[in-house]
Structure 1
Amino acid sequence: MSAFTVGQLAALTPVNAYTLPPARLLIEQAMRAGAPPLRATITEPVDEDGIRGEWVRGPRADRTDAVVLYIHGGGFVAGSVLGYRGVASRLSTATKLAVFTLDYRLAPEHPFPAAPADVAAAFGWLSQRYPADRIVVAGDSAGGFLAAHLAIENARVGQPEPGALVLFSPMADLSLVTAIGHENEHRDGLLSTQIARQAIAAFTAEPFDLRPIHGMRLPPTLIHTSDTEYFGADATELEQRWQSTGAHCELQVWPDQMHAFQTLPVVVPESRTAYRAAARFVAAHLDTAPAAMTQKVPAS
């Protein structure tokens, strides 16, 4: 099933308690078909200290000095660790790092601030095992929003920052003011204002945007977007706001791609180049000296 078909079905389906269970299953099936795990990928489920998720180590991912925390997309209302296993497998292989994919609570059953709280808890849990600056936080779409929100909140309260952020097609303005009226509003084959507005309303009754403040200590950040995707303007605005604080932020714009194209590598071959670009960014911004580990992750 193509991403365009999923988008067309979603556009006709309201987000409510009756439609969400089958919609979540549909999205998971599409993700598993569009991003199956690479051969020889090793996984290990986690359910401890209130943290649920999955360790994923892809082929040749033999580094143990750092780790990736991946926050999946799905508009805050869908997405799963199982559906994103193939994405984690590819990111792990590209970076040579183990990836921990977080199974955070979904709206509307668990509205804001449940998901950000789960992300913060997972980062704290990993920080007991790795120095904070050895943790790369990555995410796509709503997961990209949650990853950036974590960094901003940590900076606001003086908590340690991740070593780097990697954001694929991040949402940045939940009011949708940035996206609505932009030329990409009707060009994306996967998303629409109707879908985005319904999902956000399930997440929070008070939509807000990501607004880092000048002088905040924010991690170096890579943002991938497309010149035709719905949240393209969000990505551009977020890059400008990030740089206005004095932090390093690199925006890479891919031509003629759907929203979060990296999550469907079977459908979009260019995603392979995107993973390699993300790996180069991570390597450039992580100290390569070995760090002492306090907990083992799945062996390669």
Structure 2
Amino acid sequence: MTAEPASLRARALWQISSHTVRPVSAVIPVNEHTLPAARMIIDRVMRAVAPVLNGTVVETVESGPVHAEWVRGPRATRDDAAILYVHGGGFVAGSARSYRGVTSRLSTATRLPVLAVDYRLAPENPYTAAAADVSAAYHLLRERGFAPDRIVTAGDSAGGYLAADFVVGSADHGRRRAAALLLFSPMTDLALDLAHRGDGHDALFGLATARAAVAHLVDAPRQLRPRAGTPLPPTLIHASSDELFAADAVAFADRLSTAGARCDLRLWPRQMHVFHTLAALVPESRTVYRMSGRFVIDTLESTAAQAI
């Protein structure tokens, strides 16, 4: 489903970024020399475009292999369920700290606490490290008393891949480990065969930059392909129709539906990749949180009613 036309502010930001950020990202290599500065810049930009909501409570979690943060927005009054959030950053950048503005808003919209996992980044760590960290964070939630049907798994961009990979992989083994799956501009094809359709449209970066980032993580193609008849949760996907990974979102939504899952895909025109992070800049970002909050709350209530 395609959303309404973009706001004037969103269109202006898209145009400005396409003529400034994208050209710069195209000429800067993604390697061990540039990543330290890139990580610092991304951290600062994220905190500027999505400042933490006043009244948010953050608790550092260090438990065995789990490095994470509990984030409770100012209206997070519920404890009967929780959200496991996996941040984006091309597998090579981003952190729970830089995403506090995102997780505080998601917590407020859903009234739920959010466990934001600080998974290990590439290239210092291979692919299995990040996936193992997501799994460990999930099991920490289970140890703290949250049943699978009271855990919502969410993520954006590269984190969207990791979140969906965990849910789909569990379903392939006959286990449903999430009440719902919530994805923002997810990568779903690490071979990047689908992304070439969006090359030239994305206002942040192009296919070459994405290939360089993914190459630090995996050396073989990986795609999310849920199988029919597996226990997949209801899914909501928000993405821009004008971003590199638009085709990833569309293809994954189709694959989920074909596999028998309920999936709602919302495509937003002339929006930035992961525009939900731009809460201080574009009004559509705030709309996405409201819609995502309703989806999570409605899904949890439906699950609870079925259990009676």
Residue 158 of structure 2 corresponds to 142
Cα drift, residue 6 of structure 1: 4.6
- Counterpart of 2:204, as a letter, is L
Q: Counterpart in 1 of 2:61?
A: 46
1:117 aligns with 2:132: yes
Q: Does 7-16 or 21-30 show the bigger shift?
A: 7-16
Alignment partner of 1:173 is 2:189: yes
Deviations 1:198-248 (A, max 9, x none): 000001011211111111111110000111111001000000000111111
**Aligned mates of 2:21, 2:142 — CA distance in 1:** 37
- Shift in CA distance, 7/32, structure 1 to aligned 2, threshold 3 Å: farther
For 1:190 and 1:42, the matched residues in 2 are separated by 31
Does 2:253 match 1:239? yes
Q: 1:294 aligns to what?
A: none
Which residue does 1:76 correspond to in 2?
91
SS at match of 2:251: helix
Return the alpha-carbon distance in structure 1 between the equivalents of residues 135 and 292 of structure 2.
23
Match of 2:147 in 1: 131
What TM-score, normalized to structure 1?
0.92
Deviation of 1:7 after TM superposition, in Å, equals 4.2
Q: Could you report, residue by residue, the CA deviation over 1:38-76 in whole angstroms, capped at 9, with x for unpaired residues?
A: 011110001112100111101111011000110000000
Partner of 1:201: 215
Q: CA deviation at 1:8?
A: 3.9
Q: Is the 8 A contact 2:21 2:203 kept in 1?
A: no
Asked if the contact 2:176/2:232 (under 8 Å) is kept, the reply is: no
Shift of 1:287: 3.0
TM-fit CA distance, 1:111: 1.6
The structure-2 alpha-carbon separation of the partners of 1:193 and 1:91, relative to structure 1 and needing over 3 Å to count, comes to: same
Supply the distance in 1 between the matched residues of 2:176 and 2:140 (Cα, whole angstroms).
13
2:272 to 234, 238, 258: 258
CA distance in 2, matches of 1:134, 1:155: 16
Cα distance in 2 for partners of 1:154, 1:170 equals: 18
| Cα distance per residue 1:84-125 (max 9 Å; x no partner) | 000000000000001111000000000211111111111111
Asked if 2 retains the 8 angstrom alpha-carbon contact of 1:6 and 1:27, the reply is no
In the superposition, the TM-score normalised over structure 2's length comes to 0.90
Give the counterpart of 2:36 among 21, 41, 58: 21
Counterpart Cα distance in 2 of 1:162 and 1:89:
20
Unaligned runs of 5+ in 2: 1-12
Is 1:11 matched up with 2:26?
yes
Instruction: Report the Cα offset of residue 191 of structure 1.
Output: 2.1
Tell whether the 8 Å contact from 1:228 to 1:256 is kept in structure 2 after alignment.
Answer: yes
Q: 2:46 aligns with which of 15, 23, 31?
A: 31
Cα RMSD over matched residues?
1.5
Equivalent residue number for residue 100 of structure 2: 85
**Partner SS, residue 186 of structure 1:** coil
Aligned partners of 1:178, 1:264: CA distance in 2, in Å? 25
1:38 & 1:263 partners in 2: Cα distance?
13
Q: Which has the higher helix share?
A: 2
Q: Structure 2: which amino acid aligns with 1:176?
A: L
Partner SS state of residue 100, structure 1? strand
One of 150, 154, 175 as aligned partner of 1:159: 175
Structure 2 distance, partners of 1:13, 1:179, is 20
Alpha-carbon separation, structure 1, partners of 2:162 and 2:177: 14
Match of 2:240 in 1: 226
Give the conservation status (yes or no) of the 8 Å contact 1:200–1:207. Answer: no
**Count of equivalent residues:** 287
Query: Matched residues in 2 for 1:83 and 1:10: separation?
Result: 20
Q: Deviation per CA, 1:259-280, whole angstroms, max 9, x where unpaired?
A: 0000121122210000001011
Please state whether the residue corresponding to 1:24 is helix, strand or coil: helix
Contact 2:176 2:233 in 1 (8 A): no
Q: Amino acid of the residue matched to residue 204 of structure 1? A: V
Deviation at 1:157, TM superposition (A): 2.0
Q: In structure 1, how many angstroms separate the alpha carbons of the residues matched to 2:42 and 2:126?
A: 20
Could you tell me which runs of 5 or more consecutive residues in structure 1 were left unpaired when the two chains were aligned.
291-300
Compared CA separation, residues 161 and 6, structure 1 to 2 (3 A): same
